[in-house]
Structure 1
Amino acid sequence: MCTIESLQSLRASHFFYGLFGLVVGVGLGFVRQYLLRTRLDFPVFGSPRDPNPRDAVLEGQAKCGDSPYFVTSSQQHRTLVLPMSLYTEVNSHPEKVVSFRKIVKDTMYGRYTDIGGTERPELLDAIRQDLMRNLGRVIEDVQDETHHALAAELPDSAEQWTQTNAFAKVLQVVARLSGRVFVGLPLAREPEWIAASIRYTVNAAGIRHQANEWNALVRPFVVPFLPAVRAIRTQRRRARELMRPLLEELLLSDAADNREKSAGASRGSFLSWIVARMPWDIKTAQRLGDDQLLLTFAAIHTTSITATAAIMDLATYPQHIEPLRQEIEQVLAEEGIEENADGHVVFPKPAMARLKKLDSFIKESQRWSPMGYTISSRMIMQDVTLSTGLTLPKGAMITFPQYAVHTSPDTPTLSPAYNAPTPNPGPDVFAGFRFANLRSVPGRETRHQVVTTSLDSLTFGHGPHACPGRFFAVAEVKALLIDLLRNYDIRLVGDVEGEGGEGRRPGDGRHGLSRRVGMHCVLEVRRRARG
């Protein structure tokens, strides 16, 4: 018979061995990092106390050129920055050799958030195939929801300027836009779902930031007890509860096996696409709830940061506002698109594609205010010898110098020679219509779009690992900016004359090699007078 004392003794022994294993694992990790540094004898730039890793990346690029170098920042391990000449070769290796998912799981603490953890092919297939095939209808749904969301979140007064937290408002709006597509009406507008989507996104990102504040030696002992970790568990349970009746409805209506029928369902097409691609044995509320939260994080986190940065750039460089408004109204007139009874217009997909200045402004904002100074981080899972003779040892964390590429006149599409037919300034100047000017050159009409990836434009990655959801994300940002430009005025706080200026703009936040628009950036907003 098991006594209380024996159970307590068993638990204590399990805890001891678990603690011992954790200590050994951490120790081996540090030994591995030491061995990596001795095997890869490259210059090191930056330090854990460096408040601005951007300078370390730029210094390393300037001094090392086409040679690798290490960047150290925050509490993270040293990251090996490889030259862009190796980008295609490195990223051609399979996941089991050069892993993207492993780095995501580690940096996003996937053990607690599930980000980068379990493979979810139904999500990728639904994004790459179903979402892309139905993007035209989805764009119209997104624009319709944008109008409702902005009207709910922003002031209705045309007489008085109101201060508002730009990121907080955009987060609310993007949560609603994503929900309209992912879970459909009416759930997308229910406060509980909006709050759950945002809290999961904020907590998932928060776990990473909070954990990295601790020294790596004690981090494994601290992370399980972070408040954000406990909150994530609660949110995952609640998401499963909310998905259960939707899953039952889909299965009962046979929507999972009839995508064409479900495409117009008010419950949200994406749910039916995911369920249709699930093997029968995993068609559960638990799986669907977890899928939805992961999808929500991927959509809301990056899209909100991108949209907020673009809005801040509009207020900082307000000379772009009127030309953008004129382009929007011109396309409306030429396409014959009319407002409905509430003054709302919906751009069909082909009409939205004609907004070249808007597309360019978003792309320039991404270039100027990236979410990271490096891109395409990977973990080396087994020794890899490259064509240059460089051997990347197992356990090495590698990346590429995105920010240096996006700000260098040596980058082909930013070079003086390539830009000679246009009035574009050098890459050290924000020029919202830079890429629209490049597209005005004969033969380049379809190039340089915000969703176009290349070795010169790495915001969404490039090659086989390019972000599959970028078309949807860009559609959301465009819908938000169109409605904002048509119906609202914005300015930096205290900018009575509307002159903008970088000196008035709130600073951005930085964490390791990541950069994010200031979470506390405040703007002044008012409704535009009708007509």
Structure 2
Amino acid sequence: MLNFLSASFSKCYKFATVVSNASEGQPLMTPTLNVSYFGPIVFALCMIFLSEGFKLRHIPTEGGSALPILSFAGAYHFLHNTAEVLQRGYDKHKGGVFRVPLIDRWLVVITGSTLVDEVQRMPPDKVSFAHASAEFIGSVFVFGNEVLRDPYHVAVIRDRLTRGAATLFAGMCDEIEAAFGDAVPADTNGWVSLPAHATMRQVVARATGRMFVGLPLCRNEDYLKLTLDLVHDVRKTRNILTWIPRFLRPAVGKHVADRHSRAADCLRLIGPVVAARMAEMAKHGKDWRDRPNDLLQSLIEEIEKRGQGPYEIAQRLLLVNYVAIDTSSNSFTHALYHLASAPEYLIPLREEVERVIADEGWTKAAIGKMGKLDGFMRESQRVTGVITVAMLRKVMQPLTLSCGTHIPRGTLIAAPAAATHLDPANYSDPDTFDPFRHSCEKEEGRSSQRRQFATTSADYLAFGHGKQACPGRHIASSELKAMMAYLVLNYDVRMADGVRPADVHAAMAVLPCPDARVLFRKRVPLVY
């Protein structure tokens, strides 16, 4: 029996690997599988679907059949046509709920501002983002179960890091300038063509690293490679585990994720820095005047309270890097494509940045006064968000929504972010990218606070919404706006053909075209 299960896993692992590669844009070349090996896994998945589907039989289905076998075809259709299926479900069931088939389970989708506001107010012991992420992304396998049992990194980011954002800002801007100088070798004599997504990932990784671990580690090539490769590793692990029945995932996840070796790589790089800082803390105590103000220092202080060690720091640091670099680099590249395909937007943005910087200098407060820039970034997130769903939650206790729908314990629920953002009831002419629609509202005095880039609402779900919205959204928005301000001040940009490259839909993710190139030309700014 052990040999049979081992062989079954080996065959299914190979199958899941090629499906994972296909989901990231590689050709789907399905290997020949022995049905006697693969059959038990399919049977297990079908039984899970049958059991879960029976509990959700009262909820209408979109994107496929509710029957166990046919639901796989529906899941395949959904993963390749996610935006269309969610839009169709949104149009048919707005104000209510529907369900869509994933490979390994059902996802219940809530629609309309009433239900979104209702769910966002619910506490984590009733609907939990952390537990949903653990199942949907496989975070417990990649980063360890400790990040789910005691997610103190969330409080560290939300409280300490956000409160210290003003002092972090100067170092981050310094790193943005240095990173652009290294990654964008342009001059004033002509245009240089660069792969936009790969280039912006480098800049984001550097700027994020400056806030997370400080100098000189944020410029260490091995550290940058570790944080950038992590995105691919997590995505591959998630895609493979999707094809593994849930009851087998704890055993399989250890083999696939290889989290201990990744943590060891991180420890090798941060270990000397952690040891040096802990020595200074022991020497000076609260009187350490040169205490660094970054995420690493906050994590060191937190693990000391808990009697933990550097391994736990590595776990949290890897997790936060994965979330920050992946979403921020995708978001910024989306915005860059909007700007480069319509470079006439550069002029009003540049005028605003020059005026505010001349008056305020490069400060967090100055970035906060750039209404056009803020509105541009918000509109980019509205039209081309990084994911088609938001507010992913796992139902921890059975609940009945105000629309009368009962949701059983253990169900994953989410809101359709893309469909919400393209609803004409929420935004006029919603399919059009209008770069200054939000800044115009601010100038006219309509809901100025509500329409800021990092401000969530029932009709703007780019950062989620409510009590469990992205805890680092204020820091992330400051970073992205500072990057864009630096870019429009120091570079001209355009697409060679003037056309914005098409986005890549990979399941529920909306990725900027990975191969598109943007033309950069250095300019001499009026202010610095």
Q: Distance in 1 between matches of 2:509 and 2:263?
A: 26
Secondary structure at 2:60 match in 1: coil
Deviation at 1:16, TM superposition (A): 10
Deviation at 1:108, TM superposition (A): 1.3
> Among residues 472, 477, 485, which one is paired with 1:474 in the alignment?
477
Q: Match for 1:198: what amino acid?
A: L
Secondary structure at 2:77 match in 1: coil
Q: Match for 1:463: what amino acid?
A: G
Whether the aligned pair in 1 keeps the contact of 2:281 and 2:288 (CA below 8 Å) is: no
> Structure 1 residues 219 and 136, CA, compared in 2 at 3 Å: closer, same or farther?
same
1:101-128 deviations in whole A, cap 9, x for unaligned?
2221112122431277533443122212
- 2:165 counterpart residue number: 135
Alignment of 1:408 with 2:438, yes or no, is: no
Q: Match for 2:268: what amino acid?
A: E
- Unmatched runs of 5 consecutive residues or more in structure 1: 1-8, 338-346, 416-425
Deviation at 1:528, TM superposition (A): 2.2
Q: Distance in 1 between matches of 2:193 and 2:309?
A: 44
> Among residues 42, 46, 53, which one is paired with 1:34 in the alignment?
53
- 2:500 counterpart residue number: 505
> Among residues 456, 460, 465, which one is paired with 1:457 in the alignment?
460
Deviation at 1:224, TM superposition (A): 5.0
Deviation at 1:30, TM superposition (A): 2.8
Q: Distance in 2 between matches of 1:263 and 1:446?
A: 36
Alignment of 1:68 with 2:68, yes or no, is: no
**RMSD, aligned CA:** 3.2
Whether the aligned pair in 2 keeps the contact of 1:123 and 1:274 (CA below 8 Å) is: yes
What aligned pairs does 1:8-157 form with structure 2 within 5 A after superposition? 26=45, 28-38=47-57, 40-45=58-63, 47=74, 48-50=76-78, 51-72=80-101, 75=103, 77-84=105-112, 85-114=114-143, 117-157=147-187
TM (norm. structure 2) is 0.83
Q: Distance in 1 between matches of 2:318 and 2:522?
A: 33
Alignment of 1:527 with 2:527, yes or no, is: no
> Structure 1 residues 207 and 507, CA, compared in 2 at 3 Å: closer, same or farther?
farther
Whether the aligned pair in 2 keeps the contact of 1:80 and 1:396 (CA below 8 Å) is: yes
- 1:182 counterpart residue number: 212
Whether the aligned pair in 2 keeps the contact of 1:460 and 1:466 (CA below 8 Å) is: yes
> Among residues 430, 435, 444, which one is paired with 2:447 in the alignment?
444
Whether the aligned pair in 2 keeps the contact of 1:262 and 1:269 (CA below 8 Å) is: no
TM (norm. structure 1) is 0.83
1:230-254 deviations in whole A, cap 9, x for unaligned?
4x54322111222322222222111
> Structure 1 residues 211 and 168, CA, compared in 2 at 3 Å: closer, same or farther?
farther
Q: Match for 1:33: what amino acid?
A: E
- Unmatched runs of 5 consecutive residues or more in structure 2: 11-36, 65-73
Whether the aligned pair in 1 keeps the contact of 2:95 and 2:115 (CA below 8 Å) is: no
- 1:207 counterpart residue number: 237
Q: Match for 1:35: what amino acid?
A: F
Secondary structure at 2:123 match in 1: coil
- 1:344 counterpart residue number: none
1:472-528 deviations in whole A, cap 9, x for unaligned?
101111121112112222111x33xxxx3xxx2222121222212122222122222
Whether the aligned pair in 1 keeps the contact of 2:450 and 2:456 (CA below 8 Å) is: no
Q: Distance in 1 between matches of 2:455 and 2:209?
A: 26
> Kindly, what percent of the aligned residue pairs are identical?
26
- 2:278 counterpart residue number: 251
Deviation at 1:471, TM superposition (A): 0.9
Secondary structure at 2:149 match in 1: coil
Number of aligned residue pairs: 484
- The worse-fitting range, judged by mean Cα deviation, of 255-264 and 161-170 is 255-264
> Among residues 374, 388, 392, which one is paired with 1:359 in the alignment?
374
Q: Distance in 1 between matches of 2:150 and 2:246?
A: 32
Secondary structure at 1:447 match in 2: coil
Whether the aligned pair in 2 keeps the contact of 1:149 and 1:176 (CA below 8 Å) is: yes
- 1:3 counterpart residue number: none
Q: Distance in 1 between matches of 2:431 and 2:502?
A: 18
Whether the aligned pair in 1 keeps the contact of 2:450 and 2:457 (CA below 8 Å) is: no
Deviation at 1:13, TM superposition (A): 11
Whether the aligned pair in 1 keeps the contact of 2:241 and 2:253 (CA below 8 Å) is: no
Whether the aligned pair in 2 keeps the contact of 1:247 and 1:284 (CA below 8 Å) is: no
Q: Distance in 1 between matches of 2:9 and 2:194?
A: 48
Whether the aligned pair in 2 keeps the contact of 1:259 and 1:272 (CA below 8 Å) is: no
Whether the aligned pair in 1 keeps the contact of 2:143 and 2:316 (CA below 8 Å) is: no
Q: Distance in 1 between matches of 2:141 and 2:402?
A: 38
> Structure 1 residues 37 and 257, CA, compared in 2 at 3 Å: closer, same or farther?
farther
Alignment of 1:332 with 2:351, yes or no, is: no
Secondary structure at 1:448 match in 2: coil
